[in-house]
């Protein structure tokens, strides 16, 4: 009897996902969630400071206009759009919609999602800005 | 943990939809503020009036909490993949989904105080 066998585990580098375009896009897609979470935190902090009064709120607005914030939001916007594009691309696989017994073709489902994105964005921007952007 | 999987997945999926449809415009709006293009729109009295409507609060609650759950799910699986851990290794889902639950409770408290 020799020593007990241990299953071989091929070592995987932390950078495994950089070698292949498909893997890189997959990991980048997962990482978009960090920016979605960060934006939710920023919104929550905005509401928190709003509840504390004018002074806190205005101090928070000053914090939001720091130079790094513009860079963060450009990257976050790219991440949010990348998330939306990949999410909509998967939508026809996640749900099969039938109208009158016929399956709605996948491109129509994707197009409907983009339509909803456009309409929702316009409505929210209109409410927040008080005018049509 | 196993039996609650569909619940987390449902929250992730709902959060993914909310994030895809609504987060881009919110990032753009805060980005516009950061660039100094929307300071009038974000004036204290105006924003306070906007969020005073119950529907605005409901909207913000759904937007923020589902975004947290979406993050938690993706972050859990990315972390498990990157660190070669199993997603069933309890501290991992507890930390990720626990953060999302804490964030949801905080959001409810903040909105109730407004």
pLDDT of residue A1: 59
- Selected residue of A24, A47, A48 to mutate for chain B interface (largest B Cβ count, 10 A): A47
Angle at A114 between CA A85 and CA A80, to 5 degrees: 40
- CA quadruple A49, A51, A52, A57: dihedral sign: positive
Structure tokens at B40: 């009038």
- A95: contact with B, CB 8 A cutoff: no
Q: Pick A21 or B25 by higher pLDDT.
A: B25
- The CA distance from A44 to A74, in Å, is 20
Structure tokens at B103: 């964030």
Q: Pick A100 or B107 by higher pLDDT.
A: B107
CATH number of B2-113: 1.20.1300.10
E strands along chain A, which residues?
98-99, 102-103
Task: Give the model confidence (pLDDT) of A53-102 as tens digits.
Answer: 999 999 999 999 999 999 999 999 999 999 999 999 998 888 788 888 88
The interface predicted TM-score of the complex, written ipTM, equals 0.94
pLDDT band at B68 (very low <50, low <70, confident <90, very high): very high
- The CA distance from B53 to B62, in Å, is 15
- A51: contact with B, CB 8 A cutoff: yes
pLDDT of residue B96: 95
What mean pLDDT value characterizes chain A? 91
pLDDT of residue B35: 94
Q: Pick B2 or A23 by higher pLDDT.
A: A23
Residue A114 has pLDDT above 90, yes or no: yes
pLDDT of residue A90: 92
pLDDT of residue B8: 93
Q: Give the closest of A54, A64, A120 to B22, CB-based.
A: A120
pLDDT band at B12 (very low <50, low <70, confident <90, very high): very high
Q: pTM of the prediction?
A: 0.90
Residue B15 has pLDDT above 70, yes or no: yes
Residue A47 has pLDDT above 70, yes or no: yes
Q: Give the closest of A30, A124, A130 to B78, CB-based.
A: A30
Domain spans of chain B, in order of start:
2-113
- Selected residue of B12, B26, B73 to mutate for chain A interface (largest A Cβ count, 10 A): B26
- CA quadruple A29, A34, A37, A38: dihedral sign: negative
- The CA distance from B23 to A81, in Å, is 9
Instruction: Tell me which residue has tokens 């996948």.
Output: A106
Angle at B64 between CA B70 and CA B94, to 5 degrees: 50
Please count the residue pairs, one from chain A and one from chain B, whose beta carbons lie less than 8 angstroms apart. 151
């Amino acid at each position: 009897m020799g020593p007990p066998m241990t299953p071989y585990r091929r070592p995987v580098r932390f950078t495994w996902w950089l070698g292949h375009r498909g893997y890189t896009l997959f990991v980048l897609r997962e990482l978009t969630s960090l920016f979605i979470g960060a934006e939710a935190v920023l919104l929550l902090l905005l509401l928190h400071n709003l509840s504390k009064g004018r002074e806190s709120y205005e101090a928070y607005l000053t914090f939001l206009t720091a130079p790094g914030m513009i860079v963060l939001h450009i990257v976050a916007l790219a991440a949010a759009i990348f998330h939306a594009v990949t999410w909509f691309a998967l939508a026809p696989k996640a749900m099969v919609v039938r109208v009158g017994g016929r399956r709605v073709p996948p491109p129509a489902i994707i197009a409907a999602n983009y339509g909803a994105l456009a309409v929702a964005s316009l409505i929210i921007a209109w409410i927040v800005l008080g005018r049509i952007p | 943990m196993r039996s609650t999987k569909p619940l987390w997945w449902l929250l992730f999926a709902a959060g993914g939809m909310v994030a895809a449809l609504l987060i881009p415009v919110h990032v753009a709006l805060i980005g516009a503020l950061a660039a100094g293009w929307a300071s009038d729109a974000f004036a204290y009295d105006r924003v306070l009036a906007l969020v005073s409507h119950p529907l605005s609060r409901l909207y913000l609650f759904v937007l923020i909490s589902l975004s947290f759950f979406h993050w938690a799910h993706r972050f859990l699986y990315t972390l498990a993949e990157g660190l070669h851990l199993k997603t069933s290794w309890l501290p991992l889902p507890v930390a990720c989904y626990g953060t999302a639950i804490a964030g949801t409770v905080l959001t409810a408290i903040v909105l109730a105080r407004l």
